[in-house]
Structures are given as structure tokens and as C-alpha cells.
Amino acid sequence: MLELLRQPWPWYVAGPLIGLTVPALLLVGNKALGISSSLRHVCAACVPAGIPFLNYNWRAEIWNLWFVLGIGLGGYVGYQLLGHPDTIAISAETVRDLKAQMGLTDFSGLLPRELFALENLANWKGWVFLVLGGFLVGFGTRYAGGCTSGHAISGLSNLQWVSLVAVIAFFVGGLLMTWVFYPMMF
């Protein structure tokens, strides 16, 4: 059993378990799954700066910060304690394309070191991938009112058409970056 847990989990195990998080949060405390809100709560707690959108009782939403802290601990347990492959077994076509189009050579770890190593902050690549990338995630999710968890999983599960618009937009953005902007950068 432990040996099985230590392997990468297939989609048909992980997906349904992620789906069950939706009713689990509702049943234990009437909470809707959503993670990007935690970023707003941290801003409201640390740097409200008199901004109306950050002036609310974030303490009433503190469950969300506990949930996110748990996700961090889960990352430790899942990666360091439950083992991980040195290289993620992505498809051969993806490896081929990333080599040919982006010049990647190191496929070990969760993220390519050639783009995300902290030393990259000395050149444009680090700023685009680490700083601009993170900024767009934080800006866009709040502007859209949710991320993959709040809109794609929680929202679509509750048949919200607004979430369908959001998820389509997430994909439009992702496809634009992958197919239009990446080729311009590399």
C-alpha cells in the first residue's frame, strides 16, 4: 500500500479526490473551495494601506489561511516524505518541443531550473518567469474572482456559467502564452 502511495498518482485517483474536497469543505464548515482569496487575506492582514478592497474583516476568513498552510505542509509530505521521481514522466512530444523551442536541457524537478533558478533574477528570464508570472497570477485571479479551484472546480461543480467564462478565459490566456508569446521570447 505504501509503495503504491509513493508512486505518482494517476488522474483517475487524484481528480476524484480533489473533487471530494468540495463537499468536504461544505460539510465541515459551509466553506466554498477557493485558494486565491488567501492572497487577498494576506494583503489585507499585512499591507491594507487604506485600500477599500483590503479593508474588511479578514479574520472572519481565517479558515482559508489554515487551509493554505495545510497545502504547504501537504507539499512537504507529498514530495519529501512520500517520494518523487527525479524527472516527471511527461510526454515525449512535450520534451521534444521544449528542447527545440525553448532550449531546455534539464527536465529534473518540478520546474525547469533553467527558467526558475533564483540566479535567473539577474537576467530578463527570471523577471519574466518568477516576477511577472507570479504577478499576473495574483492580479488576474483576483480580477477574475477566482482561480482553478474557485472557478474551475468549485464554480463549475455548482454549474455557474460565470465560472465557465472564467475557465475559458484561463485557457485563452494560457494558450496565448504558450503558442504566441513563448515563440516570441525564445
Partner 1 sequence: MKNLKYLVLGVLFGIILTKSEVISWFRIQEMFRFQAFHMYGVIGSAIVVGMLSIQLIKRNRLRTINGEEIKLADKKYNHGTWIGGTIFGLGWALTGACPGPLFAQLGSGVASAAVLILAALAGTWTYSALRERLPL
Rounded to whole angstroms, what are the CA distances from 181 to 55, 120, 131, 159, 177? Answer: 36, 19, 16, 32, 5
Tell me if 130 sits within 8 A of 116, measured CB to CB: yes
Q: Does 28 bind partner 1 (CB under 8 A)?
A: yes
CA atoms within 13 A on the CB side of 140: 17
Closest CB 54 distance from partner 1, rounded Å: 5
Q: What is the CA radius of gyration of the chain?
A: 19
Closest CB 3 distance from partner 1, rounded Å: 13
How far is residue 74's CA from residue 65's CA, in Å, rounded to a whole number?
Answer: 14
Q: Does 125 bind partner 1 (CB under 8 A)?
A: no
Q: Using CB under 8 A, which of 74, 99, 100, 106 touches partner 1?
A: 74
Q: Does 45 bind partner 1 (CB under 8 A)?
A: no
Q: Using CB under 8 A, which of 88, 99, 105, 124 touches partner 1?
A: 88
Closest CB 103 distance from partner 1, rounded Å: 14
Q: Does 56 bind partner 1 (CB under 8 A)?
A: no
Q: Does 12 bind partner 1 (CB under 8 A)?
A: yes
Q: Which three cell numbers stand for residue 87?
A: 524527472
How far is residue 35's CA from residue 41's CA, in Å, rounded to a whole number?
Answer: 10
Q: Using CB under 8 A, which of 99, 100, 124, 136 touches partner 1?
A: 136
Alpha carbon 150 to its chain centroid, in Å, reads 11
Q: Does 131 bind partner 1 (CB under 8 A)?
A: yes
Closest CB 154 distance from partner 1, rounded Å: 7
Closest CB 57 distance from partner 1, rounded Å: 15
